[in-house]
Structure 1
């Protein structure tokens, strides 16, 4: 039994270690490895270890082992919830961070002083463990400042307001053009409107799926087909975001699909503006999806537009803001094209 527990614990710790590496490198599968590693460690390994020790000589130091079990369970669960951005992590960490010092340490010191044979090595080991817990908790609590995240929310809202204004302006232009243009041009204008709406729906669908994937399907940030970005709580999530936008292989996510649709939309708009070079260039710049040359890498290697615009490891709130910005560019391009019919 004891041998099995040791082996099981080592396996789980290795799973967590690999999960942490995957998390740092923003590789897919990090969430599963961390969840399995820490989850099974807290729910299976700790109870087994406590029960096995209690059956042996643990009865003499029941309070010590119980305090260690409770502190470890709460700390590990809090860490798991924090890493995975699950609700309740804040409360667990508030309780779990000081608990080893307020509960376990006094109990340990009591039993240590009571013991006839005091082990200096064990005492130093526990002290180093407590130091590690404090440092680990400090790093775990580190996150992007609320001011930065709030500024991204504000930026998203600014883009959203701009999009609303452009929507009103463009709709008014559509009404004017539909009543004044000949049939052939009316059909072109109607096609512009249809293609623009289709592309905007694609972007809105991506945003909603991203929010549901990071904040849950019942996220308060989603009201029907509308997004209330201020209620989006999983702003720092990056693992799902990277996998969602770029796929498991880094080239099959929503970013690639979106790029293809933007290219098709841009080419359609430009096909109408062949004789108007100024507007042609403006739209080409607004909807540019060319690869970007990184001077740090060298001219021979280029970064695809989708990788640059939706970088790996980027927070969900940044991706959402970039998508909203992209909608602004689309509406500006739409307005630029409509003005050519006046």
Structure 2
């Protein structure tokens, strides 16, 4: 049994939940932190937490990362060995509407985590960055060595800032830090603000889905969709892996197989049809590209493969089928029972 203490921020979130569950299943001691904000359906967060509460080796603290005193007390009490910072204000488009939330959570909150790791030394700090740091880079696939000085959203700017802050703390205080540039994570119990989830919501509400590609199928958006199990596998592989000579590191973690947005939508339609037992099709409305969106996200995962042998295993169809089955069971069949 691993007696180390793993502190995971954003434990009620999508990635935080699945990582916590994986570690708990392995017998690890997990201290979860979450402010349980209502950026999206809070009931989904409570469903995740209810699942985690079945483990004796799990404890949850409702603390906001911007509460420096609360974070320091938590570190002083539990003295974590490994910290995985997954808490953040997510969403590219929401950062245009509400920039203050991003500075509070992603900047001040992350600084407080770094300060806690400085005063209560940890073996390793892993934190969530994002593929959005690549901005409108036209060279694909994106590699960690690419210049990322041109973010096109405030969300991306805060994530790039996190990488710079981590680099500084690694250099000044010898803290091993690893940033993970996630590429469009999806799966059951995912984030409702993500396209695949929103499209599904719209279908059952009998509303059209909005596709921001101008109806241009030749120059459609490309996305590197990464299934949640592959993301967790990558994180777990890095928990105890860092270069003692180079304490600061950043890795892409993606599927390495980008697909056109329209292909993605067609696959989701097929998977929902399978789950419902009848053929379905979304009502589609095509609109111009949105500010802050990038035309393509495509990860080179060579660096991560070299480090820990990472190789994504879940196909898009397999992953979306698992999501569709969960959605129908969680929302539709449950509603039918109530009615």
Q: Do both proteins adopt the same fold according to a TM-score greater than 0.5, normalized to the shorter chain?
A: no
Q: What TM-score, normalized by structure 2, do the two folds share?
A: 0.24
The structure with more strand, counted as a fraction of residues: 2
Which structure carries more helix by proportion? 1
Bigger Cα Rg: 1
